[in-house]
């Protein structure tokens, strides 16, 4: 199988040579074609937790090389919805971008059963994440640092069995301003003002000893500000995938981390000097007050139901810079929620607003978000979760999450 090598401009190639930790590729002529064709000012933005991860290093690459049925379904959904800008969560990172190459050429680039016409993204962004990266510390307090299997994963900066597991991938039809991308992979949790430091509920003592707490990273994967040059101007794509607020103990260390990972975006959008908010290149401060943005990702926090500190997601939804809009919905979510309700699993949230099915114990929840800034007109939105009676249902089970999309109109600049 030949390797897919997108065209890279000379200036971008120089940038990549100087910064090997990221992978940004693109076709500079695609932007020229879109601008000269009178492109619509409507921008479709989406987030999709794809479940394209593997427990083994290089496992996703090998699966994609062999023809992965799950990846074909994910590609089919993307071909049906056809977002202009999309975040893929749980897409394993590899430094060469091999998995992203394969997914573009042999999945998105080929008409899939139940999908649509081939779909090409000339631009992409991926970078290292904290999952699976050894910390050298005993983070789960089992008496040793590292080890095998889950023990190794629990002591990584973010849970993962190898570096890059559960990574992130941004795909775009419009150019990405690589020089202005900001990543917050290395930001310390303790740097966040009033950080929710986990504590033993019986003794009140800190769960992490001071030498460990001072080193802990906030992001379980990473937080990225990816500026995208759309026909309507630059849009900052603010993407992340906070840790699930479960798989811990009474100290609720994952619940506290999830809430503070979400709160980082609240701080990033809020006014005031923030000398503590420094990205991985050492640039400090939040997002400019006049910048337009879209927050996207599997934030692992339902506003009402399930585990998690719901105030964190509610505060983000109610931030004055986030547009008020109708919640994306689907018929499939309501259908599945009714089945769970009939079996005794009842939630308080609107059933049609859920974005994923997490089994008979947890039920359906809204965990995935696309949140545009004020200044955008929201034209439409939805969750690709069709009713089981429709043919589209055959491609909707590639992941336990479902793609969320929002159509935006900002007018041409």
Q: Give the residue among 364, 289, 294, 296 at the shortest CA–CA distance from 333.
A: 364
Mean pLDDT over the full length of the chain: 91
> pTM for this structure?
0.91
Express each pLDDT in 50-87 by its tens digit.
999 999 999 999 999 999 999 999 999 999 999 999 99
SS3 per residue for 48-97: EEEEECCCCCCHHHHHHHHCCHHHHHHHHHHHHHCCCEEEEEEECCCCCC
Predicted local distance difference test score (pLDDT) of residue 332: 97
Q: How many other C-beta atoms can be found within 10 angstroms of the C-beta atom of residue 1? A: 10
Tokens of 215: 């080193």
Predicted local distance difference test score (pLDDT) of residue 23: 72
Q: Tell me the domains of the chain and their CATH numbers.
A: 10-129+164-409 (3.60.10.10)
Q: What percentage of the chain has pLDDT greater than the value 70?
A: 90
- H or E stretch covering 1: none
Predicted local distance difference test score (pLDDT) of residue 410: 73
Q: Are 346 and 374 in contact (CB under 8 A)?
A: no
Predicted local distance difference test score (pLDDT) of residue 187: 98
Q: 23 forms bridges with which residues in the sheet? A: 126
Q: What percentage of the chain has pLDDT greater than the value 90?
A: 87
Which residues in the chain land under pLDDT 50?
1-21, 27-38, 412-413
Predicted local distance difference test score (pLDDT) of residue 1: 35
CA triplet 338, 342, 346: central angle to 5 degrees? 70
Predicted local distance difference test score (pLDDT) of residue 26: 56
Residue 69: HSE in the Cβ half-sphere, 13 Å Cα cutoff: 4
Separation CA 211–CA 41 (nearest Å) = 51
């Amino acid at each position: 199988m030949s390797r897919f090598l997108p065209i890279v401009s000379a200036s971008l190639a120089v940038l990549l040579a100087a910064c090997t930790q990221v992978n940004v590729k693109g076709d500079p002529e695609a932007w020229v074609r879109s601008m000269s064709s009178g492109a619509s000012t409507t921008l479709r933005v989406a987030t999709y937790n794809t479940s394209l991860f593997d427990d083994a290093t290089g496992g996703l690459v090998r699966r994609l090389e062999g023809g992965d049925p799950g990846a074909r379904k994910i590609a089919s959904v993307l071909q049906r919805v056809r977002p202009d800008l999309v975040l893929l969560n749980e897409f394993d990172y590899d430094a060469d971008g091999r998995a992203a190459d394969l997914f573009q050429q042999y999945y998105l680039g080929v008409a899939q059963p139940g999908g649509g016409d081939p779909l090409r993204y000339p631009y992409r962004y991926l970078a290292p994440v904290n999952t699976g990266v050894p910390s050298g510390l005993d983070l789960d307090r089992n008496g040793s640092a590292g080890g095998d299997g889950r023990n190794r994963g629990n002591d990584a900066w973010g849970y993962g069995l190898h570096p890059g597991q559960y990574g992130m991938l941004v795909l775009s039809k419009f150019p990405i301003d690589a020089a202005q991308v900001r990543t917050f992979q290395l930001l310390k949790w303790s740097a966040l003002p009033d950080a929710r430091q986990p504590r033993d509920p019986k003794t009140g003592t800190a769960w992490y000893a001071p030498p460990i707490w001072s080193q802990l990273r906030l992001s379980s994967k990473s937080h990225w500000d990816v500026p995208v040059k759309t026909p309507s101007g630059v849009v900052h794509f603010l993407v992340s995938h906070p840790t699930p607020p479960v798989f811990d103990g009474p100290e609720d260390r994952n619940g506290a981390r999830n809430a503070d990972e979400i709160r980082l975006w609240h701080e990033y959008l809020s006014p005031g000097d923030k000398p503590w908010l420094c990205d991985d290149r050492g640039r400090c401060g939040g997002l400019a007050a006049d910048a337009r943005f879209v927050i996207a990702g599997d934030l692992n926090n339902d506003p009402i139901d399930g585990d998690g500190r719901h105030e964190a997601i509610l505060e983000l939804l109610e931030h004055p810079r986030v547009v008020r809009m109708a919640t994306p919905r689907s018929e499939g979510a309501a259908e599945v929620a009714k089945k769970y309700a009939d079996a005794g699993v009842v939630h308080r949230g609107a059933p049609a607003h859920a974005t994923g099915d997490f089994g008979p114990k947890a039920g359906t929840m809204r965990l995935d978000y696309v949140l545009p800034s004020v200044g955008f007109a929201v034209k439409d939105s939805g969750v690709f979760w069709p009713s089981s009676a429709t043919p589209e249902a055959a491609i909707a089970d590639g992941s336990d999450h479902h793609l969320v999309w929002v159509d935006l109109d900002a007018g041409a600049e």
